[in-house]
C-alpha cells in the first residue's frame, strides 16, 4: 500500500519511520514548503497513492482535503482543530465517494479510556452531589486547546449525564498527552487518567487505520473501526 503524508512534523516523521513495518511505502511527503496553497495536489497528481495520512494543521487540512477528494484519495485525518469545517468536509467526502477516517487520537488506549468515561458518565448521572472536570496536558508546541480528545470526553459526559463539564488545558515542555477525568463530591473523589507514554501508539493507529481504510467508502471515526484492526 502506498501512502502520501501531509505534514512532516513529529507525527509525520514517525508515521514515515513506522510505515515499512506494516508493509507500506511512503510515496511522497508534502509540507507547507512544497505544497503552498495545495499546488502539489493538482489534477492527475499522486495517481498511485492508496491512502493519504494528514498530520498537518487545521488550516492545511481544510485547504488540502477537497483537493485529495477530487483526486479520489482516501484520507486518514489526525489533525485537530477543524471542527467548524467538519460538516463541509463530510459533504466533500460524500460527493467524491471516498473513504475518510478522522479522529483526534489514534491510540487504542484512548478508545478504551473513552469507553470508561462513557460508563462513568452513566453511573455519575443520578448522583447530584458529584461534579465532573476534565483536564488535559500536552507539549508546548500543540496549538489547539482544548485537545480533540478532551472535547470528546466533555461531549460524552455532557450527553450522558446532562451536567456542565469544564475543561482545563495545560501546555508545557515535551508532554506527549495526558487526559484526566475527576468526579468530585464533598465526600469522595474519583479519578481516571490516560497518560500517553510515547507518540508511537498514535502513529501505529494511523498506519493501521490507513490499511483498514484502503478501498473503503464513507466517513469513519477511529472508535468505529479499531476492533477490526486488532
Counting every residue written for the chain, the total comes to 230
Active site residue 143: no
> Rounded CA gap, 177 and 199, in Å?
9
Burial of 106 (0-12, 13-18, 19+ CB in 10 A): buried
Query: Among this protein's residues, is 138 annotated catalytic?
Result: yes
Q: What are phi and psi of 19, to 5 degrees?
A: -50, -45
Q: Which of 135, 138, 179, 194 is catalytic?
A: 138
Under 8 Å between Cβ of 8 and 29: yes
Which residue has cell 508546548? 140
Spell out the residues 6+ positions from residue 54 whose beta carbon is closer than 8 angstroms to its own.
6, 7, 60, 61, 64, 65, 75, 76, 77, 78, 79
How many helices (DSSP H) and strands (DSSP E) are in the chain? 7, 10
The active-site residue out of 2, 13, 139, 142 is 142
What is the spatial distance between Cα 212 and Cα 9, in angstroms, rounded to a whole number? 24
Cα 159 to Cα 176: distance, rounded to the nearest angstrom: 28
Catalytic amino acids?
138, 142
Amino acid at each position: 500500500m502506498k501512502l502520501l503524508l501531509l505534514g512532516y512534523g513529529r507525527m509525520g516523521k514517525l508515521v514515515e519511520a513506522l510505515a515499512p513495518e506494516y508493509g507500506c511505502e511512503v510515496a511522497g511527503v508534502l509540507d507547507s514548503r512544497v505544497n503552498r496553497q495545495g499546488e502539489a495536489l493538482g489534477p492527475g497528481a499522486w495517481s498511485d497513492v492508496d491512502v493519504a495520512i494528514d498530520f498537518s494543521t487545521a488550516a492545511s487540512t481544510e485547504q488540502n482535503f477537497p483537493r485529495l477528494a477530487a483526486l479520489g484519495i482516501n484520507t486518514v485525518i489526525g489533525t485537530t482543530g477543524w471542527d467548524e469545517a467538519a460538516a463541509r468536509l463530510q459533504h466533500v467526502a460524500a460527493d467524491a465517494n471516498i473513504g475518510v477516517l478522522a479522529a483526534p487520537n489514534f491510540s487504542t488506549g484512548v478508545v478504551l479510556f473513552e469507553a470508561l468515561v462513557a460508563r462513568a458518565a452513566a453511573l455519575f448521572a443520578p448522583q447530584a452531589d458529584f461534579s465532573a472536570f476534565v483536564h488535559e496536558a500536552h507539549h508546548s508546541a500543540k496549538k489547539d486547546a482544548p485537545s480533540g480528545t478532551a472535547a470528546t470526553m466533555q461531549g460524552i459526559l455532557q450527553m450522558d449525564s446532562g451536567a456542565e463539564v469544564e475543561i482545563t488545558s495545560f501546555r508545557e515542555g515535551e508532554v506527549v498527552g495526558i487526559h484526566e477525568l475527576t468526579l468530585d463530591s464533598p465526600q469522595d473523589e474519583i479519578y481516571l487518567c490516560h497518560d500517553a507514554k510515547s507518540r508511537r501508539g498514535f502513529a501505529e493507529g494511523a498506519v493501521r487505520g490507513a490499511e483498514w481504510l484502503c478501498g473503503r467508502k464513507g466517513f469513519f471515526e477511529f472508535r468505529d473501526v479499531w476492533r477490526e484492526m486488532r
